[in-house]
Amino acid sequence: MIIPEQVPPGRTLSVDVDGVPPVEPGPGVRVRTLPGMPGIRTWVIDLAPGAEWPGLDVHETCGEAYFVVSGEVIEGDRVHGPGTYVAFGPETSHRPRTETGARVFGFNHDVTA
């Protein structure tokens, strides 16, 4: 399956998220990049129980946001459960982890696009 990087103008696109081949940046972390709009990168991340993002995720010039679909994501001393929307502004960083496992849907605004 070939997934376009962006949704073509004048088109509607439907994608089976679980059919998108994942990239594994670290143990128990699977990232699926989804088609976005110009300037927006969209993705789904699955974290296995006990997984942690492999390094500090730094947002120097643009923000990031995600929605917890299932499980719990821990950011510092805060636990974000299903239905929680978490947003990070420019000049922030974080390193998400989970004890239960989690699926999150998110996006980054790409200022270079």
Domain count, the chain: 1
Which tokens go with 41? 């990168």
Model pLDDT, residue 3: 63
Which tokens go with 96? 């998400």
Structural domain includes residue 29: yes
Domain that holds residue 83: 17-109
Which tokens go with 98? 């989970």
pTM: 0.86
Structural domain includes residue 11: no
Q: What is the pLDDT of residues 15-61, one digit of tens each?
A: 899 999 999 999 999 999 998 888 888 999 999 999 999 977 777 76
Of 30, 5, 20, 19, residue with least CA distance to 110: 5
DSSP 24: E
Let me know: does 40 contact 56? Beta carbons within 8 Å. no
Find the angle CA(56)-CA(45)-CA(73) to the nearest 5 degrees: 65
Structural domain includes residue 49: yes
Structural domain includes residue 12: no
Structural domain includes residue 73: yes
Which is higher by pLDDT, 91 or 111?
91
Q: What is the pLDDT of residues 48-106, one digit of tens each?
A: 999 999 977 777 768 889 999 999 999 999 999 999 999 988 888 889 999 999 999 99
Structural domain includes residue 8: no
Model confidence at 112, pLDDT cuts 50, 70, 90, reads: low
The yes-or-no verdict on residue 113 having pLDDT over 50 is no
Structural domain includes residue 97: yes
CATH of the domain at 52: 2.60.120.10
